Structure 1
Amino acid sequence: MSELIFYTNPQSRGRIVRWMLEEVGAPYRTEVVGYGPAMKGPDYLAINPMGKVPAIRHGGAVVTEAAAICAYLADAFPAAGLAPPTTERADYYRWLFFAAGPIEAAVTDKTLKAVPTPEQRAFVGYGCYENVVDVLDVLLSERPYFCGESFTAADVYAGSQIAFGLMFKSIEERPSFRRYVDRIQARPAYARAAELDDAAAAAA
C-alpha cells in the first residue's frame, strides 16, 4: 500500500482533512507544518507552491485544496463509502463545489467587509451572502445530508464550512444549520480527528 502523508497545522483547514482521513480509516503519517518560515520554505513549497496547508502525498500523487483532498480520498478508499456511485454523483459534485466556491467566497467577503454592491452581484459567482445562506437553509431543512440520506465527503467539507461559520459567527445561526452540525459532529471519526488536532495544537 502506498504511504499516505498528511501535511497540516492544527489551526488551519487541515482539520477538515484530518476528519476525512479518520472517516476513511486508512493509515497515514502526519507532518505538522509551522506557519512562517517552515510553511514558506523550499521543502514545503515543493509540496504546495502556494505555501498553504493542508496537503497530502499518496505514493507519487500530491493533492492540495481541502475539497479536492476530500474527493480524492473518497475515491482512493472506496470501501469507506464516502462517495456515491459514479452514476449518482450530481448532488455530490454540486454541493461539494458549492461549498468550495460560493460558500467560502461569500463568507470570506462578508468577514473582510468586501461585500459586493447590488450592481456588482452579477460579477461574483455567489451573487450575495444572503442568497447563499438561504439556499443552504432550504436544503438542510429538507434532508439530513447534502446528498440526501447518506453521509459523504461533501458533508465533511461543506459541513466543516458551516461549522466553522457558526463557531466564528461568520454564518448566522439557523435551526437547520445547528441540527445539521450537531448531527455530523456526533460521528466517531469527527471526535477522533478533533482529539488529535487539539492535542497537536496543545503541543505546538
Structure 2
Amino acid sequence: MTDEIVFYTNPMSRGRIVRWMLEEVGQPYRTVVVDYAGMKSPDYLAINPMGKVPAITHGGVVVTECAAVCAYLADAFSDAGLAPATDAPLRGLYYRWMFFAAGPVEAAVTAKSLGQLPPAEKAAMVGYGSFDQVVDGLEHALDRNPWLLGEQFTAADVYVGSQIAWGLMFKSLPARPAFQAYAERIASRPAAVRARAIDDALVAEAKAEEG
C-alpha cells in the first residue's frame, strides 16, 4: 500500500476540477493522462468501471466522481483547511452546497442543455424541480458572502465554483451578477491559476503531437 496520490485525468475533462482541488490541497501527486480510448481499456476500467475520468487512488482507496474526490481530499488532508471539522456547525452547510451542485445543478443544467427539461406539470417528478428554481437557489447561496460558507473557502467552492464557471463559459447558466463575481473570485486563486496552467500546457502538448 502506498500513500502516493495518483491522479487519472484528461485536460479536456472534468478532471480540471480535481486538478484545482489537488493544487489547493498542496500535497504531491502523480498525474496519469488518459486519452478517450484509454478510458475504455481493461486497465483503466479496473479503476473506474464507468470508463471516465477523473479518478484518484490514494492509500489503496479508489475515489471517482468530482464531488466525492474533492470531499475526500479535503478530509484526508484536513490541515489544508478546505472543509469544516466534522463536528462544526458549518459542516451541514458544506454538505448542502456540495451535494446541491452534484445533484440538482448538474441534472438541471444537463437537462436544459439537451432540451429535456420536464413540462411544468411534471416538475415535481424530478429532484431539481425546475431549472429556474435551481438557478435561484444557487444565486441565493452566493449573494451575501464571498464564499459558500461565508468567509471560509472550502472544497465546496472548488466544486460549485467550477460548475458556475463552466456554466457561464458555455452559457448553460444565466450571467447573473452574483455568478460572474463569484467566478472572478475563484479564477484568481493561486491554486486555480496553477491548475489551469498545467492543464492548458497538456492540451497544447497534445495538439502539438497531433500536428
The two structures have a TM-score, normalised by structure 1, of 0.98
Q: How many residues align?
A: 203
Give the whole-Å Cα distance in 1 for the aligned partners of 2:204 and 2:33. Answer: 13
| Residue-by-residue CA offset, 1:101-136 (whole Å, 9 max, x unaligned) | 000000000000001111211110000110111111
Secondary structure of the residue aligned to 1:93 is helix
Report 1:10-49 matches (<5 A): 10-36=11-37, 38-49=38-49
Secondary structure of the residue aligned to 1:15 is helix
Shift of 1:144: 1.2
Give the whole-Å Cα distance in 1 for the aligned partners of 2:102 and 2:148. Answer: 14
Give the whole-Å Cα distance in 2 for the aligned partners of 1:143 and 1:136. Answer: 13
Secondary structure of the residue aligned to 2:106 is helix
Find 1:124's aligned residue among 123, 126, 129: 126
| Residue-by-residue CA offset, 1:120-173 (whole Å, 9 max, x unaligned) | 111100001101111111221111111111000000001100000000000010
Give the whole-Å Cα distance in 1 for the aligned partners of 2:166 and 2:142. Answer: 16
Unaligned 5+ residue runs, structure 1? Answer: none
Amino acid at match of 2:147: Y
Aligned residue number for residue 195 of structure 2: 193
Find 2:176's aligned residue among 167, 174, 181: 174
Across the aligned residues of Structure 1 and Structure 2, the Cα RMSD in angstroms comes to 0.8
Shift of 1:203: 1.2
The answer to whether residue 70 in structure 2 is matched with residue 57 in structure 1 is: no
Secondary structure of the residue aligned to 1:2 is coil
The answer to whether residue 156 in structure 2 is matched with residue 154 in structure 1 is: yes
Give the whole-Å Cα distance in 1 for the aligned partners of 2:111 and 2:195. Answer: 28
Give the whole-Å Cα distance in 2 for the aligned partners of 1:149 and 1:120. Answer: 38
Secondary structure of the residue aligned to 2:87 is helix
Give the whole-Å Cα distance in 1 for the aligned partners of 2:140 and 2:51. Answer: 37
Identity of aligned residues (%): 66
Secondary structure of the residue aligned to 1:99 is helix
The answer to whether residue 67 in structure 2 is matched with residue 72 in structure 1 is: no
The two structures have a TM-score, normalised by structure 2, of 0.95
Amino acid at match of 2:58: H
Task: List, as ranges, runs of 4+ consecutive aligned residues in structure 1 with deviation greater than 3 Å.
Answer: none
Give the whole-Å Cα distance in 1 for the aligned partners of 2:5 and 2:141. Answer: 34
Amino acid at match of 2:44: Y
Aligned residue number for residue 163 of structure 1: 165
Amino acid at match of 2:101: A
